[in-house]
Each structure stands twice: as C-alpha cells, then as structure tokens.
Amino acid sequence: MNKIVSRADQALSSHDLCDHCLGRLFAHVDTGTTNAERGRNMRIAVSLERSARSEELPAHEECWICEEIFDSLDRFADACIAELSKIEYKTFLVGTKVSPDIQDREERLWAEVGGEDAEPIKAELNREIGKIMEARTQKEVDFKNPDAVTLVDTRFSHVEMTVTPLFIYGRYNKYSREIPQTIWPCRVCRGKGCERCNGLGKMYQTSVQEIIGDIAIKMAEGSDHFFHGMGREDIDARMLGTGRPFVLEISNPKKRSIDLNVLECESNKNEDASYSDLRFSSRDEVRKIKNASPDKTYSATVSMQDKVNKGLVDEVLQSLSQACITQQTPVRVSHRRADLARKRHIREINLKDFSENSMVLEITAESGTYIRNSSVGMGAVQSLVSLKNSASTAKLPRLMSYRYLITFTRYKNGQSFKRP
C-alpha cells in the first residue's frame, strides 16, 4: 500500500474525519488543490484499498477534530464583511481563533500518524474565509499591508477588527518661532489640564503636528494622530528651505481615500506653517525617516556690539570647519534627552555676508549637532568656538543678538542630498 494512503487509512481507522481535516494532513504533499479535494481523493483511495481486502470504510458522520466547523465558513465570512462595512478599505486579512480542544485533537492526530506534511487548521480557515470574502466584496487579501484585519472567534462567530493607520508623507516649513513641531504636554499636569496650561493640557496652543493633523483626522474620521518627523528644530527656530520630511499617522481611519490636495490647501491657510509634497505613505517609510540622519544646515544672522576684523572671523571659521566637537546635552532639551557627552562633526562653516557689525553664517553639521547653545546671549558661532577650544572666544565680540533659520537637506531613497 502507498505510504500516504497507509497513513490516511491509519487516521480514518482511529477517528472519523471530514475531508478538510483528512486532506490537511497531507497539505504539503499534493499542492495545487484544496484540502477538501485532497481529503476526498484520500478517502476514495482508502476505500478502494479496503475493498480489495473485503473491508468497508464507515460512512462519515461528524469530524472528530473540527466538529464540522467548515460548514460555518459562510457565516464567518458574513460576520467579517459586516464588520468591514463600517470602514472604507481595499485590502484585508483574516485571522481566526479556534477552540483549544480542536487544536489539541489536531496535534494528537499528528502524533499518531505523523504531522510533517500537515497544515494547521487555522491556516486553512483563514484562507477559505478570505476566498469567500474576496468573491463577495471584490476586495483583495493582502498579507503584507492590509487596510484592515478581522479576527474571527469561531466559537461565537464574534469578529474583532483592527484598522491599519493611514500614513501621509509630506514636507513642512515652520515660520513661527512660537510653536513646537509636535504636541507638547503640560509639564505641570502632564496633559490633564491645569491653571498653568489654561486647561488645555499642553504647553503651547498649537503645533506643526496639530495644524495638519486636526484637519486630516476629520477628513479620515480617525481617532488620533501622530507625527513622525525627520529630526526636529527648536521651538524658536524657523524651518525654511525645502522643508523637513515627515509622516503623519492617523489611527483607526474610517476613510482612506481622502483628497490630499484639499488637506494641503486647508492646512496652508494658517500663517505659522505650510505643507507640501503630500502623498500616501506606509509604516516602512516611518522607519526610514526616523532612522535617517542627514546633515543639517543653519543660517545664522549675527549682530555684534563692536566692530570685528573679517580676517579674524575667517581664521576662526576655518579652524572650526571639519572639526570634531564634544557636546554635553543642553539644558533646553534635558527634559527629553539623556545628559551625555556626544561627539559630532562640523562639516563646514561659510561666511555668506559680512559687515563691521553683522555677518551671516551658513553652518553645515552632522545630524544631532546642537548648533545653538542654551546659555542666554550665546549664539551659534560663540557656542562652536567655545566647544572647539582651539580658538579663543575672546577673538569674537559678545553677540548682541542672533536669529537663525534652518534649511534641511533633501531626502530621497533613504539618503540625503542637496537640492540643486
């Protein structure tokens, strides 16, 4: 007798099995067909072998393993479709929960006749329910990035649905020196609302995140929003140039095909920030953006109390270009960064404009470099000079004031490059 048929005969001798559970024992032996079809063929082969021995195969009544759970596939599919009808989706994925007793009996059968070629019952249930749903909804199963996942508890026909967040990539420019990039919970009440924050639960009335996020969450009918930026700038720093890349994440969206042109237009009606290059994105791009570390370029306008010699400025700047500096975490970010000494590289410092009492510097540095110092009255150049130690701060007059803007290198394919 064929070894496969012999194993099937052994299984049917011990237990009454349906075609699904019988065929699933040999799922990886005969591909290109369903477990039910495979099980029917095995049953016929076993019946013929027994007939040759003048033996009869008992008629099937109720499956010992699954208790005829596969008769309820349509009911499970309908329950999933009903749950998915609450949202807009194009792709989905099905998962199932089965009784522990069913899984236990399946594993016992594997131990008796061998389970090296078998497929778990949940895998077949997921696939067969998904096939029915695809036919009825004209939507597709997606194993990598489904819009929603339904989990069916087959004991009660109960369905739990998990909606994949909606991700929107873009670039932002920040023109206000009074708003942060993301929501900043109140330090006193930690978001609960108090006198310090006027009951808002946050340190600032709005942020780059909230300006676009509050509009997007209404359009997508989501429950919350999160902002993933490629780094961040200080609250009192502007973000100019080509803009900083970000991904906006909307949780539990009921709508996915929102009009990004409308979102961009509505978000840009404010004066504090603007948004561009919006497109739909994914969680993979969030990882790329969070892990990216492109160099950053600051432009600092420096006003000086006394006249300064340009040759002296050139000498100091030359000593700082290509320098490796050690930086202690500034006090201004100590609430969110560990107090450590970090080595960072200054790529270059160029003098873009100069007069006796003012100058404009363009400073390009490694990602994570603190260009400005937290001490009052200290500016970008004075901070860098003091860190370098090879040049004396006495060579430069005390900086009366400085304002700076940040331009960011373009981001493409996981690497940074400067826009021509």
Catalytic residue among 74, 214, 234, 339: 234
- Pairing relationship of beta strands 399-408 and 238-251 according to DSSP bridges: parallel
Q: What is the pLDDT of residue 334?
A: 64
The segment(s) of the chain belonging to CATH 3.30.70.3190 are 296-417
CA distances to 345, 346, 361, 384 from 387, in Å: 12, 11, 17, 5
The segment(s) of the chain belonging to CATH 3.30.70.2510 are 166-291
Closest listed residue to residue 6, CA positions, set 46, 61, 62, 57: 46
Which residue spans within 281-378 are E strands per DSSP?
296-304, 324-328, 341-354, 358-365
Alpha-carbon gap, residue 193 to 169, rounded angstroms: 31
**Structure-token pair, residue 420:** 């021509």
Alpha-carbon gap, residue 316 to 338, rounded angstroms: 31
CATH architecture of 296-417: 2-Layer Sandwich (3.30)
| CATH code, 166-291 | 3.30.70.2510
Other Cβ atoms closer than 10 A to 43: 19
pLDDT tens, position by position, for the chain (420 residues)? 588 999 999 999 999 999 999 999 999 987 789 999 999 999 999 999 999 988 999 999 999 999 999 999 999 999 999 999 999 999 999 999 999 999 999 999 999 999 999 999 999 999 999 999 999 999 999 999 999 999 999 999 999 999 999 999 999 999 999 999 999 888 889 888 898 888 888 889 999 999 999 999 999 999 999 999 998 888 888 888 889 999 999 999 999 999 999 999 999 999 999 999 999 999 999 999 998 888 888 787 877 777 778 888 888 888 878 888 787 776 666 666 777 788 888 888 888 898 877 888 888 888 877 776 422 223 344 444 443 333 333 333 433 333 444 444 333 333 333 332
Rg (CA), the chain: 33
For residues 168 and 245, is the Cβ–Cβ distance under 8 A?
no
Instruction: Please say if 234 is a catalytic residue.
Output: yes
16, exposed or middle or buried, with CB in 10 Å at 0-12, 13-18, 19+?
Answer: middle
- Pairing relationship of beta strands 91-97 and 140-141 according to DSSP bridges: parallel
> Which residues, at least 6 apart from 75, have a Cβ–Cβ distance to it below 8 Å?
157
